[in-house]
C-alpha cells in the first residue's frame, strides 16, 4: 500500500511540475523597442526567424519556441513575454508589413492562427486586417 501511495505522489509531482513548464526568461530584459526601432537589428531577427541568416543566441531561442508559442497562445510565456509579443505584433503589422507578411507566410501559411486569435488580438488593439 505504501509503495502505491509513494508512486502516486511521485506521479502527481511530475504532472504538476510538467504542467508548469515555461519558456526561459533569460532574455526577458532585452530592449524590444531598441530592436523594433533599429532596421538593422530588426532585419537580423526577422532573417533569423525566416532562416535567411544565422541567429544570435536570443534569436535562436525565439526561433525554437515560436511555433509552440503560436500554437498554444503563448501558454508557456511569462507576462513580460506576452507584453513583448503584443508590442512586436503591433509594430510589425502597423510599421513593417513586409516583414510581418513574410513571417506570417512562414509561420501561418493557411491563416489558421490569424483566424484563431483575431478576436482576442482585436481586444488588445492588434488588427490583422491592416
Residue 94: pLDDT over 90: yes
* Residues of the chain above pLDDT 70, percent: 84
**pLDDT-wise least confident of 14-18, 46-50, 78-82, 121-125:** 14-18
Domains and CATH numbers, the chain: 2-123 (1.10.2080.10)
Compute the average pLDDT of residues 36-49. 96
Chain-wide mean pLDDT for the chain? 86
The pLDDT > 90 percentage for the chain reads: 69
Q: Please check the confidence at residue 98 and state whether its pLDDT lies above 70.
A: yes
pTM confidence score: 0.78
The predicted-structure confidence for 1-16, as pLDDT tens digits, reads as follows: 445 444 444 544 444 4
- Angle, nearest 10°, between helix axes 97-107 and 79-95? 120
Amino acid at each position: 500500500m505504501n509503495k502505491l501511495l509513494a508512486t502516486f505522489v511521485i506521479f502527481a509531482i511530475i504532472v504538476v511540475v510538467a504542467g508548469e513548464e515555461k519558456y526561459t526568461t533569460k532574455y526577458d530584459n532585452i530592449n524590444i523597442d531598441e530592436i523594433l526601432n533599429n532596421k538593422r537589428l530588426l532585419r537580423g531577427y526577422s532573417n533569423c526567424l525566416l532562416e535567411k541568416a544565422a541567429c544570435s543566441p536570443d534569436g535562436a531561442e525565439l526561433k525554437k519556441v515560436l511555433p509552440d508559442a503560436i500554437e498554444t497562445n503563448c501558454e508557456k510565456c511569462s507576462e513580460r513575454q506576452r507584453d513583448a509579443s503584443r508590442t512586436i505584433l503591433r509594430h510589425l503589422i502597423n510599421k513593417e508589413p513586409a516583414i510581418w507578411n513574410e513571417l506570417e507566410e512562414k509561420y501561418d501559411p493557411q491563416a489558421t492562427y490569424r483566424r484563431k486569435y483575431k478576436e482576442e488580438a482585436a481586444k488588445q488593439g492588434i488588427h490583422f486586417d491592416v
